[in-house]
Amino acid sequence: MSLRIILLAALLIFPASCADRQPTSSLDEKAVVAEIDLLRSQFEQAVANGDLAALGALVSPEAIIIQPGAADWKAMQNIAAGAPFPQQAKIHITPAETKVVSAEWAFERGTSVVTYVNPETGDEIMLRDSYLLIFRNEGQGWKVYREVASASAPPEGWSSAEKN
């Protein structure tokens, strides 16, 4: 009978003692998210300035980017003539979640809206997408490593700003 009491006590005490332990990781997730927020802001600014060198500095040389394949996105690519965005384009990126996996890997899911002027018609064009980004930090700061974007709405739907 005493063995059962010891086992029962151990089962009750062990989970409680584990719950009080602090994580051993020294990774400051809030600092990493702040760095990714800064990278996003710098990306938006580089697009607005048409600064291809600044864009290149934010993206890993091994990056793979998959843009939406919808006809309006292909039309924008044609106007951009090999650049990532047409001249005077703007992008507004809205993350829905940012998760830090380790000191080397993080990911983000969200939406973005690209606006640009069609040079033939003068019309302002607005394209929206949902995206999944993978960031990698190989010691020189966080960079975009992979992106998959879709013209489909995100699970939570488009925000009111993205619908207009």
Residue 18 placed within a domain: no
The answer as to whether 112 is a domain residue is yes
> What is the Cα–Cα distance from 97 to 79, expressed in whole angstroms?
31
Report if residue 65 sits inside a domain. yes
User: Is residue 3 a part of any domain in this protein?
Assistant: no
**Does residue 81 form part of some domain?**
yes
Question: What pLDDT digit, counting tens, does each position of 56-88 carry?
Answer: 999 999 999 999 999 999 999 999 998 999 999
- Residue 153 inside a domain? The answer is yes
Q: Report the chain's mean pLDDT, rounded to a whole number.
A: 86
Pairing of strands 105-117, 90-100: antiparallel
Count of domains observed in the chain: 1
Segments of 57-103 assigned E as strands: 59-66, 90-100
Arithmetic mean of pLDDT, 125-133: 97
* Domain enclosing residue 144, as ranges: 27-163
Residue 7 lies in a domain: no
Question: Above 70 in pLDDT, residue 95?
Answer: yes
**Environment class of residue 106 by beta-carbon count within 10 Å: exposed (0-12), middle (13-18) or buried (19+)?**
buried
Task: With a cut of 90, say whether residue 159 has pLDDT above it.
Answer: no
pLDDT-derived band of residue 162, with 50, 70 and 90 as boundaries?
confident
Provide the CATH number for the domain around residue 142. 3.10.450.50
Q: Please give the share of the chain, as a percent, with pLDDT higher than 90.
A: 77
